[in-house]
Amino acid sequence: MNVYFLGTGTSQGIPVIGSIHSVCKSTDFKDRRLRVSAWISWEDYSYVIDCGPDFRQQMLVSNCQKVDGILYTHEHSDHTAGLDDIRPFNFKQGSMPIYAHQRVIDNLKKRFDYIFETENKYPGAPSVKTIEVVNNHPFPIGNKIAIPINVMHGNLQVFGYRIDDFAYLTDVKTVEKSEITKLKNLKVLVVNALREEHHNTHFNLQEALDFIALIKPERAYLTHISHIMGFHEEVQQKLPENVYLAYDNLEITI
């Protein structure tokens, strides 16, 4: 399985508009981060996790030719705002399967009402096929099974996903014991780490490292990163041996 980090930034992206912060002014390509998203592919299958406001740019840069479905983590804009840009895939492939918690589907129906219109729908509007994700109900994607991982983003429920020995969790602050048991024997864990300072709804760096130490994957990658975390090169040097700061367009094979 191939995992392509389409975006590794927090909600504003890096650089932040108008910012004079040194990380926002960095010329290192690893310090430029689009909104968080990942593209997973194997054999002839291709799925993305989340579809934020940078989706179009991410599809162009990664040269993604086909998307068999979108797995949503939650409804926040940095994870959903790009839904209108699935149209080129609709024209090639037809309706796009989207997998999400029922609450997220309901939220998308409100925010993208024209996509879900049943009467007089504009012919060029995006087209989706909704598939409800329910905790403790693994579901098929292509010839693999995705296991939902129920986590909390402050008071908001969020789904992470495990596919084979790979798990992707973003916007996590707390995880119940029942979910931790679903994360045994991972080759790769992707988890959010916002910055060093405390945050109410996101793991900070130490919380992410503690979580990784608890889960014990072979390798871990940090994502959903704020410019306040610091320069990629400097932060990477402080991390344990098997932990990496992800960056945009990083590709790994599992």
Q: How many residues bind Zn ion (CB under 5 A)?
A: 2
Site string for Zn ion, 3-42 (x = CB under 5 A): ----------------------------------------
Residue from 171, 179, 207, 248 in contact with Zn ion (CB under 5 A): 171
3-state SS, one letter per residue, for 202-223: CCCHHHHHHHHHHHCCCEEEEE
β-strand pairing of 144-153 with 139-141? antiparallel
Site string for Zn ion, 43-72 (x = CB under 5 A): ------------------------------
Q: How far is the CB of 250 from Zn ion (least distance, A)?
A: 18
**What residues between 136 and 155 interact with Zn ion by CB under 5 A?**
none
Q: How far is the CB of 201 from Zn ion (least distance, A)?
A: 9
The answer to whether 102 and 142 have CB atoms below 8 angstroms apart is no
DSSP, collapsed to helix, strand or coil, labels residue 176 as: coil
**What residues between 72 and 91 interact with Zn ion by CB under 5 A?**
78
Quick count: other Cβ atoms within 10 Å of Cβ 50? 26
In whole angstroms, give the CA distance from residue 65 to residue 63: 6
Kindly indicate which of the ranges 23-31, 59-67, 106-114, 171-179 contains the residues binding Zn ion, using the contact rule CB under 5 A. 171-179
- List, as one string, the DSSP characters of 168-198: EE-S-SB--HHHHGGGTT-SEEEEE---SS-
Q: Which is nearer to Zn ion, 127 or 159 (CB)?
A: 159
DSSP, collapsed to helix, strand or coil, labels residue 78 as: helix
- List residues binding Zn ion (CB under 5 A): 78, 171
